[in-house]
Chain A
Amino acid sequence: MAEKISIDAEGLHYTPLNQQIRAAVAAGAKEIVLDNVNGQRFIGNGLRGKDVRITINGVPGGDLGMFMSGPTCIVHANAEHAPGNTMDAGTIYIHGNAGDAVAHSMRGGEVYVKGNIGYRGGIHMKEYQDKKPVLVVGGRTRAFLGEYMAGGLLIVLGRGYTCPVDERGIGTGIHGGEIFIRGEVPEKHLGIGATKKPFTEKERELIRPYIKKYCIEFGIDDPSLFEDEYVRIGPASARPFAGKYTWE
């Protein structure tokens, strides 16, 4: 099979679509282009293949790249809810906005959203050893961002907003990882267990490569993304629920 293949997703149910994608990967395809995607859920679900690139022309349905382990998905449209759900490795680029629970419970890999996302972004992301999930959002997010976070990086570039997360529940119950927000973050929006920390050169260096990847993928040239101050939010303690219980 050719290294590059196109699949016409017009009118296809997600199961046969995924079967075709799997078959292509098994046959050695490295570049897979899906045309006329229109709401098919679970694209790339559980798919392996480190050097596989899937270009998605059209709007994918929910749980894009769920449990995915390796491939890169590039969406030339908006995405529905939970792209990168419980993803293990790989990259998702969304040239648009995405719905709720983006990168839910993501364990590794990176998700880049050019525009805005919905509620519960990056909720319960977690890291282990070399697996460090990263979520970069170009615009703004809704409430409950990074709740229960147990690891990884969540970066909100806030392009076009002075207060890109203007809702409550940021980092409730966070016990690992960090959230970076470019713009104002009113204290009252922080959830229980989350606290602001100093943003130093060290952190600037930490997030720089991901901002760079964002700029390259989406063709954005804006030095302020690298130079501006970010609000750094992390856990007030690694044990947010300790101290609540006693034993019988």
Chain B
Amino acid sequence: MEIRPILSAMMRNRSGVLLVGLQIAITLAVAANAAFIIQQRLEKIGRPSGVDAANMFYVYSYGYSPSYDSKPTLAADLDTLRRLPGVLAASSTNGMLLSGGGSANSYQASANTKAPQIPGNYFEIGEQGLNALGVKLVAGRNFRADELTYSGLDNLFPKQIIVTRTMAKALFGDERVVGRLVYSPTGDAAEIIGVTQNMMGSWVDNRHPENVVFHPILQRGARLTYMVRTEPGRRDELMARAEKALSKPGDGRFVVWVHSQEHYIKNSYRSDRRMVVFLWTMICLMVGVTALGIVGLATFLVNARRKQIGTRRAIGARRIDIVRYFMVENGLLTAFGVIAGAGLSFLFSYWLSNMFALPPLKLRFVLWGIAALLLLGQMAVFIPARRAAAVPPALATRTV
């Protein structure tokens, strides 16, 4: 292959070649890092919630009249919800999963105040709480109805708790924790009576989103939130039914909203999805501009070399030889661009990871980027190269 003469011809068009080479390098650096971030975001968005999110919803009730009493309302509401055909379980709760809001506490594996404090995102639920989430126990047992207490200042830390496997590991380095005691920083003790599968807590951006703890506590006060799980496919129908069933005129309270679990998940990942769309758009724009740059440079070089192309044809080049010339030239240009771009990618990644605490770029994103840019270059140069091959050999004698 005629690489050396092509290289020396490129050296004589240095400025255009350098500019487009630099463009390719920058495109690789930005696109590889952007693709890496996209992949992380997609992985984050795609994380399983661990609960039966598709069939869950929440009902929020607000009691406004002086005669409103939360205890009988709660009992009656739970009874009403559980009686709706298609409802599998209903429980009161102190927060919505993956909603961006919730409660957290510190938990310790020993009473020693110097023991490490493990942050846990806790949910106050009833005996149907786990079922309403669709979360299964992997060890131990569920809360019993007689263990439930009402929320209030005096019982912030309960006597029994259930933890996720991840929380168990975080506390004890082991999942076999049923029967062990967990302490609050103020020295209250609770017995772990069950361990559940992993599930996400309240915050998608939490560093330990699966450090979840359940407390056997019922809600009280003006604001009550119910968590309901339905048979597959009946959620929307039952959301409407539940709202209607709890809205009795004149009972001193009203249903403020009914939201599906998916509503919260969608909202929580909105900024991540926006980031994905933004980065994709940026990649496409950069790649598009680079492709235009390649086409532009190749078109310029083809036009500037028309006489030379005619001469090459006259002295024996076939059309394919001319096409190949420009393809090889582009291959060399892109190769220089991506070699520089690979270095630049990791520099850029280093800067990003320092600025925004991102993990370091994985090599395979750079390799894919290189492959994509080489392919892009060959495709972009093909049309100008074909035009070059169409230069008639007679041009050699017809131009001065």
Answer yes or no: do A and B interact: no
- B-side residues, CB < 8 A to A, are none
- A-side residues, CB < 8 A to B, are none
